[in-house]
Structures are given as C-alpha cells and as structure tokens.
C-alpha cells in the first residue's frame, strides 16, 4: 500500500514543552513527570524544553509558587517566603517568547502557576484558603496571547482522545506548511492544498474554498504574499475541532471515487459503518481503513495521497480517552 507523499517526513514539528514533562527534575519538589504522550512524540518532534521557574533563578527543590489576585492585578507569589516573583517572570516570558525561533505548538504543565493554560488556581492572598477562581499561569497565558493561532495544550487535556487528535492534526499540518514556506514555491503550495483537500474540507469547507482561491492567484500576487495570506486562513481553518457531520460528508465524498467500482454489498457495508460512527459506536479509523483498502485495490493515488487518512505518524494513534476536557 502506498503512503501519502505529504505525510510527516523531513519536517518534524517544533514543540515547546514544559521541561518537567520527562526532560528534567525541575518540579518544585524535585521530581520529573513521566508522560506517555510526550514520550511517544519524542521520535517525531523537535522538542524545546523550558522551565520558567528555574529560568528566573528559583532552585530545585523550591517553595511552591501561587498566583494571587490583588487590586493591582495578578501576582506570582511564594507564600513560604512572601517573595513576589511577578516582575522576574513577566520579564522572562517577554524575552523568551520574543526570541523564540519558529515553533509549531506547545505542550505545557497543567495547573502550574507558571506554565498552566486554563486550570491554574488563583487565590485572594497568601493564607491557606480555597482558590477564588481559575485561569492561566504567567508563562502559559503569555504563550496564548502571543501565539493564538498555534496548538497549545497541557498534558492533562491531551489525555482526552478528541483533544489529542485535534492537537496532532493541527501540529503536523502546520509543520508541513512550515516546510514548504521556506522556499515559497507556488507549485509546493498548490500541491499542499491538493493533498490536504479532504482534511481541510472536514475542518472548515468555507475556509478551504477561500484558500483555493488564494492558491489560484488570479491577481498574480508575489509568492511571499500568497503564502502569508494562505497561512492566515490555514490557521483559521484548523482552529476548531470538526463535527461528526463534516467528517461524514468527507467520507461520503471519498466513497464517490469508487461509486462505479464497488458492488452494492460493499456500499451497504460502508454506509453501515458511517451510521455506527455517527452514533459514536466506532472510531473514525474504521471508516478510513475501508477507504484505504479500496484505494489500494483500485490504485487510487489521489485518494491515497490525502493527509486526511494519515495526518500524523501512525504509531501516535492511541484511542485511550480520559473522558475529561471535552469542553474547549
């Protein structure tokens, strides 16, 4: 069976990751956190580990930090020492992110007062008390503000199957585009649009059609301008997780390539799988495997070259699901 020519290859995604997630014993308590997803991703990505707290000269181990809200806004405090590390952390975030080389995504430590992105406890003071709200840590929040178009997740949310799938599709698609953006050749962006047709249609058909017009370039814009316009719409297209209905539409479209080649029983079998997928009884991969089998059987190179079928390396496929983090 042939493999898609646009599948992840020479360009590995470049991912900024919290250093405590399997790279160094830099947690406040001196521990390192083993994370299966990060470990499995290591052969396929270029990781850039960072620990903002160590970067501002806090030792290991160290007294825990806390995000505190006062009249002046959010502060990064150390209750045991009563020291305020806000200015140092803000300065680090600015310097680090402004000088960061090209990056395709972020995997950050959940609930960390520095790296957390969504579920960081925010307190009203230094005393022992319940948190008054939840929000972002200082570094995690700075990442979200500076890179709103990139996939940014924490290791806790990535235990959810749907969130993990969405993250990987975005990450590897953005990395593939970065690979062709280097030389800005028009033939490369035309091929990218063609090979990602089904994937982009599943995510956002409206944006896909806009991107098609950009690639057609009827106004004869310079290649650099075409790439810039295309990238903006690529990020918009990939922003939200596709609905089941859009996946089904693409699967039906793909089946149309074999309408005059398969028999009634085969068609009936495939439509039955689609109905099971719609009801959430089987994963999307069940339908994809049938289409791939037909593609190999009938030498459908165009179909086989669609990244929709293998948007990221197959050994990263993991159907385990924590059942948490479904609300984005």
How far is Cα 9 from Cα 288, in angstroms, rounded to an integer? 21
Would you state the structure tokens that stand for residue 257, as one six-digit string? Answer: 């390539």
DSSP helix/strand/coil, 250: helix
* H or E element that contains 248: helix 244-255
pLDDT score for 4: 44
Backbone phi, psi, residue 27, to 5°? -65, 160
How far apart are the C-alpha atoms of 202 and 198, rounded to whole Å?
6
Q: Where are the domains positioned within the chain? A: 244-306
Q: What is the pLDDT of residue 8?
A: 37
What pLDDT does 72 receive?
81
Residue 118, by phi and psi: left (phi above 0), alpha (psi -120 to 50) or beta?
A: alpha
pLDDT of residue 87: 97
pLDDT given at position 284: 87
pLDDT the model gives residue 280: 86
pLDDT at 318: 82
Q: What is the pLDDT of residue 106?
A: 98
Nearest to residue 149, comparing CAs of 123, 174, 176, 177? 174
Tell me the DSSP string of 179-203.
Answer: HHHTTT-HHHHHHHHHHTHHHHHHH
Q: Could you tell me if 154 and 109 are in contact, meaning their C-beta atoms sit under 8 angstroms apart?
A: yes
223-237 and 161-181 helices, crossing angle to 10°: 180
pLDDT along the chain (328 residues), means of 10: 45 97 96 95 97 97 95 93 97 98 97 96 92 96 97 96 95 97 96 97 96 97 98 97 92 93 95 93 89 94 91 86 54
Q: What is the pTM of this model?
A: 0.91
Query: What's the confidence (pLDDT) of residue 2?
Result: 44
Q: Which two tokens stand for residue 247?
A: 């996946």
């Amino acid at each position: 069976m042939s493999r898609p020519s646009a599948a992840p290859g020479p360009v590995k995604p470049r991912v900024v990751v919290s250093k405590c997630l399997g790279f160094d014993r830099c947690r406040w308590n001196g521990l390192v956190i083993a994370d299966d997803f990060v470990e499995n991703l290591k052969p396929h990505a270029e990781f850039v580990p960072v620990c903002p707290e160590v970067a501002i000269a806090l030792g290991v181990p160290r007294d825990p930090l806390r995000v505190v809200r006062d009249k002046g806004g959010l502060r990064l405090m150390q209750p045991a020492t009563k020291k305020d590390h806000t200015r140092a952390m803000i300065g680090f975030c600015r310097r680090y992110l402004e000088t960061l080389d090209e990056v395709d995504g972020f995997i950050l430590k959940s609930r960390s007062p520095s790296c957390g992105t969504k579920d960081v406890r925010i307190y009203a003071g230094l005393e022992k008390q319940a948190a008054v709200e939840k929000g972002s840590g200082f570094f995690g929040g700075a990442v979200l503000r500076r890179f709103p178009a990139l996939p940014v997740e924490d290791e806790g949310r990535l235990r959810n199957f749907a969130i993990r799938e969405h993250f990987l599709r975005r990450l590897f698609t953005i990395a593939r585009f970065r690979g062709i953006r280097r030389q800005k050749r028009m033939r490369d962006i035309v091929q990218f649009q063609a090979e990602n047709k089904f994937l982009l249609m599943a995510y956002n058909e409206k944006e896909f059609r806009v991107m098609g017009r950009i690639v057609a370039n009827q106004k004869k814009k310079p290649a650099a301008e075409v790439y810039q316009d295309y990238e903006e719409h690529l990020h918009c297209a990939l922003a939200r997780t596709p609905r089941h209905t859009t996946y089904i539409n693409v699967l039906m479209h793909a089946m149309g390539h074999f309408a005059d080649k398969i028999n009634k029983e085969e068609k009936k079998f495939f439509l039955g799988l689609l109905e099971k997928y719609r009801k959430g009884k089987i994963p999307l991969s069940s339908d994809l495997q049938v289409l791939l089998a037909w593609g190999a059987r009938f030498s459908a190179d165009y179909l086989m070259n669609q990244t929709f079928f293998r948007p990221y390396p197959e050994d990263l496929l993991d159907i385990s699901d924590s059942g948490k983090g479904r609300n984005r």
